[in-house]
Copies of this chain bind each other. A is one copy, B any other.
């Protein structure tokens, strides 16, 4: 269990403990310390201390799985403030955890011990948007959904979308290389981010907020920060290219009788829908039954019968008649060739929402059913269901299925080879966890899969990176970490294996 590990952790010997004078220094850096500085420490010159419970929101992740013990939260409003804070922490050897919307799933955004929390939520201004090129430049603390709404008025759309869009911040999205629902069509942040403004561990501001689509002058440093999970720099600003907002959408859900059929449908859909395909998701029967039983009202099974697997496709394009024609031709072909058993095409916006709800309610339903072990993994598409089946029979053999384990569901982004496997237990229990781990990681290593497709490593999987990356790669990563952060002050005890 991860909290056991945390309990054993020793604070880095070279790191200092936060003192009264440090809080006073922070208060002098922040323009509005009364609202930008939360601490339980009593100081003579700083703001008045708060109750420890007021820090809970920042010390604990939203799943309440990872728990830190920070006594100080800072909410700077400018890059300059972040830079001065970092410079001071660097000199004083105070460890820091950067925090965005705190919507992560691997504990990357909360402290492990008593790290100072730098929460970016107060840096939430849009700096510029170019309506000809679609280039957006904004503060790291902007909420993803707010950005999407802002540029929607101008006919553009954020190239990423995820369940947490209402709370997650673009800086956190970039720091964790978030994937999500538009990945299939618009690709990864490594391709979409044009530039970053980053405060390095020593306080230096790396101003790389370029809006150029092409710039081949030297190593593309921003790429290192994308997915670095706050371990080598603190992202304060983001420049990103945004695509035109499609005006036409279609959503359909198909029922199929095998996982082979899911793949077959994927091939046919790619061929028919070509450039307008924007999502290809799947979920198994267990997922749908769980959603029907436990999700909030409004989720209805569109089919009369039960089927082993379901596929959701979305198309988005610039001309409704054309897209409708393509989708209808696809449907005809799928029915005629018996590639699908049943299918339903949304006729209006309400139906679009309710079909998407089938897929999007799965995590919520799992949360209501019990304590969920979530694994976000990738592998060759054809193996995705095999892992789910293997896990079910393994838990069964160990006498856990229907006992401590209530359900195992598989769903995810077929187009990206990204499976979400959720194992829902009565409660988090070492007896369950030891049957799952390291088995699942070993399984993935054998098929050259990834133990973290889009959620990242954080506190959950930092020590497990060896299942997906070679010792030579991990050694270079450690060198890079050391190059940027020789004192290991930024987001320590995460992401990479400890040296011992």
Q: CB within 8 Å of B: which residues of A?
A: 130, 132-133, 155, 176-177, 179, 183, 187-188, 190-192, 200, 204-208, 210-221, 223-224, 226-228, 232, 244, 246, 263, 266-267, 270-276, 317-319, 322, 325-326, 378-382, 413, 415-418, 448-457, 461, 465, 468-470, 472-474, 476-477, 479-481, 483-484, 495-496
Contacts and interface: CB of A to CB of B under 8 A. Distances in A.
A45 B61 CA distance: 67
Given A133-B417, A418-B213, A190 B223 contact: yes
Given A183-B214, A212-B379, 18 more contacts: A133-B380, A177-B220, A190-B190, A190-B223, A200-B472, A207-B472, A211-B448, A213-B415, A213-B417, A214-B418, A216-B450, A216-B456, A217-B469, A218-B457, A220-B223, A244-B271, A275-B276, A480-B480
A448 B217 contact: no
Contacts of A211: 380, 448
Nearest to A193: B190
Contacts of A204: 472
11 contacts: A177-B220, A188-B191, A213-B418, A215-B453, A216-B227, A216-B453, A218-B474, A244-B274, A319-B326, A322-B326, A480-B480
Identical chains in the assembly: 2
A361 B12 CA distance: 62
Nearest to A467: B217
Contacts of A461: 217
Nearest to A267: B132
Contact of A191 (B191, B325, B452): B191
Contacts of A176: 216
A452 B318 contact: no
Which 6 A-B pairs have CB atoms at the shortest separation, nearest pair first? A191-B191, A274-B318, A223-B223, A215-B450, A214-B453, A322-B322
Nearest to A130: B380
Contacts of A470: 206-208
Contact of A192 (B191, B192, B206, B207): B191
A181 B87 CA distance: 44
Contacts of A317: 274-275
Contact of A270 (B200, B218, B227, B244): B244
Contacts of A207: 470, 472
A213 B244 contact: no
A214 B416 contact: yes
Given A191-B187, A216-B457, A381-B132, A272 B318 contact: yes
Given A191-B187, A191-B190, A476-B206, A465 B218 contact: yes
